[in-house]
């Protein structure tokens, strides 16, 4: 376990596991003390983007926002982590001639780290955080430009402002984004206005991770719904008319 400001970088050994693709996720739980209340009823597994595959390890970025993430953040060497994955639809590489712009917010920067690895570092990386403590998470991605809401690090403002300036200079790009719902909606609306293709990694709360419960359904443009766990988590922006707050990662 490694601390990155307000975040925990959890590394779990899985030497024989399947190689995850950028944007995929896993359902995590602890083998012991995974429950609460008077009768210690078990928590549901939690969905986390896979931040990196390094050697025989899977890495996940956590923020302590509730009992499940608190317990995961307590894990010590030798304790067993249960993981179902990799799951979901991944990012796809940009077509030849288009550059990649990675835009992340808060703990939602996680799937952009493994994507940057896959792209060999050949991407523009823009990351937004609430404050200095959370901006320490930018260490996960080399060469990132940072924005903070309180102006304590980098650009004072939103990461979408950095993205707008980047696209104004050169819009021949594909945008890859993950973060809070409001940020993703800003990215979606900006890319729609500028006719820039975008792939958005949504992180709606999930109960199963494989499409059975419909707990992570989001409205599809033109009607119907998409299940984030199987139709995503990476969804082309033009399939979405609006992104609600519940579909994003914590800020």
For the chain, give every domain's residue range.
2-87, 99-247
3-class state of residue 95 by DSSP: coil
pLDDT at position 214 is 80
- Calculate mean pLDDT across residues 100-105: 98
pLDDT, tens digit (0-9, with 9 covering 90-100), for 153-173: 999 999 999 999 999 999 999
Contact 83, 108 (CB under 8 A): no
Tell me: pLDDT of 175 over 70: yes
- Calculate mean pLDDT across residues 196-219: 87
pLDDT at position 249 is 61
Tell me: pLDDT of 201 over 60: yes
pLDDT at position 129 is 98
Q: Compare 210 and 217 and report the one with higher pLDDT.
A: 217
Tell me: pLDDT of 82 over 60: yes
- Calculate mean pLDDT across residues 40-62: 90
Q: Can you list the pairs that 81-84 forms with residues at least 24 positions away whose Cβ atoms lie under 8 Å? A: 81/10, 81/12, 81/28, 81/29, 81/30, 81/31, 82/28, 82/29, 82/30, 82/31, 82/45, 83/12, 83/14, 83/26, 83/27, 83/28, 83/58, 84/26, 84/27, 84/45, 84/209
Tell me: pLDDT of 55 over 60: yes
CATH of the domain spanning 99-247: 3.40.50.80
Choose the CATH number for 2-87 among 2.40.30.10, 1.10.1740.110, 2.60.40.420, 3.40.718.10: 2.40.30.10
- 38 — pLDDT class (breaks 50, 70, 90): low
> Residue 58 has which token pair?
């899977």
Tell me: pLDDT of 41 over 80: no
Q: CB-based burial of residue 77 (10 Å sphere; 0-12 exposed, 13-18 middle, 19+ buried)?
A: exposed
């Amino acid at each position: 376990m490694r601390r990155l400001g307000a975040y925990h970088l959890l590394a779990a050994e899985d030497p024989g596991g399947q190689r995850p693709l950028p944007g995929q996720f896993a359902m995590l739980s602890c083998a012991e003390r995974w429950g609460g209340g008077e009768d210690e009823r078990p928590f549901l597994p939690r969905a986390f983007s896979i931040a990196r595959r390094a050697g025989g390890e899977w890495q996940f970025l956590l923020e302590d926002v509730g009992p499940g993430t608190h317990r995961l953040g307590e894990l010590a060497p030798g304790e067993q982590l249960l993981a179902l994955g990799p799951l979901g639809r991944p990012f796809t590489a940009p077509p030849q001639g288009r550059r990649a712009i990675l835009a992340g917010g808060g703990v939602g920067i996680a799937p952009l780290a493994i994507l940057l690895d896959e792209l060999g570092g050949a991407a523009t990386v823009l990351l937004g955080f609430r404050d200095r403590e959370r901006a320490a998470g930018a260490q996960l991605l080399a060469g990132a430009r940072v924005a903070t809401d309180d102006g304590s690090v980098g650009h004072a403002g939103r990461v979408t402002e950095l993205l707008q300036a980047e696209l104004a200079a050169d819009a021949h790009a594909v945008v890859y984004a993950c973060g809070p719902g409001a940020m993703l909606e800003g990215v979606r609306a900006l890319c729609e206005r500028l006719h820039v293709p975008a792939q958005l990694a949504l992180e709606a709360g999930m109960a199963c991770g494989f499409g059975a419960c419909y707990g992570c359904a989001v409205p599809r443009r033109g009607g119907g719904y998409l299940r984030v766990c199987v139709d995503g988590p990476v969804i082309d922006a033009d399939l979405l008319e609006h992104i609600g707050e519940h579909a994003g990662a914590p800020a």
